[in-house]
Amino acid sequence: MIAADNVNKTAPPSPPAKRKLALMFPGQGSQRVGMGKRVAERSQAARDVFAQADDILGFDVTRIVMEGSERDLQKTINTQPAIMAVSWAYLAYLRERAAAMSRQLKPSLVSGHSFGQFSAAAAAEAISFADALTLVRERGRIMTKWSKRRPGGMASVIGPSDDDVRDVCASVSPDGDVGVAAINAPGQTVISGTLAALARAIDSVRERGARVVQLPISVPGHFPKMSEARDELRRSIDAVEFRDPKSPVVSSLTGKVLITAEEVRQELSDQMTGAINWMR
């Protein structure tokens, strides 16, 4: 016992654990009016991103992120590129601040919720910012076109387990017109589907005591019946050059770590119809 005490007193302190950084990017539903103003006021790098995004897209996305109305932002064809532009502006601001302290931003992992994976893939340099932003705009266009034939939406269900929510969806729509789109946390599940089926599911979970928040999203995301839209987007994705990511990308579908160009390409293709499992 004495020997052990002596060893403990003379042993050098353990080195501090190396700090690691993960970057996580938001998806649709996180938008708000004026969401780009604050970072643009603070950062020249952010302002440069917005100018670049306008050039890439060929329209004034800066106006939408600075001054766009809720109605403008709820249009999926606008929402997705607008959120990505703001995400990239904040990343540019973080890099600018790090450089001012003679440091570099080197994430150990990156991930994105839903279409935020396009931002994550670009941050990991698996794809260029220009290509990611163009694909996101195309993703929004394709989803909007599909939903004009079958209007839909999404809602967050708070309280029941994801299995209970899945059972409700199956009971109100055996043909799969509403289903689980994302499992965000224990007791926080997002459902997605056509308007009539979504309304039935909302009424049913509310009758069981759940709290429901309808999301500001004009299309049914992560909806298996959008396979035609997924295939159309895949053709655009296949036309873009992908590289192995410099930081591993964590899949928001499976929780697995993606380390190759083809794995990232597949993730961005599958997620339009695949359910997000953020809890994993």
Largest CA distance in the chain: 80
> Is 222 noted as a catalytic residue in this protein?
yes
Q: Sheet of 109-112: strands edge to edge?
A: 22-25, 109-112, 249-250, 257-258
**Amino acid present at 113:** H
Token readout for 134 is 């163009």
What is the DSSP secondary structure assignment for residue 215, as one 8-state letter? -
Give the active site residue among 114, 147, 247, 252. 114
- For residue 223, the tally of other CB atoms under 10 A from its CB is 29
> Is 114 noted as a catalytic residue in this protein?
yes
Residues 137, 145: Cα–Cα separation, whole Å: 12
Give the active site residue among 222, 247, 251, 252. 222
What is the DSSP secondary structure assignment for residue 187, as one 8-state letter? T
CB 154 within 8 A of CB 221: yes
Residues 152, 145: Cα–Cα separation, whole Å: 12
Strands (E), the chain: 22-25, 109-112, 152-158, 178-185, 188-194, 211-214, 249-250, 257-258, 276-277
Residues acting as catalytic residues: 114, 222
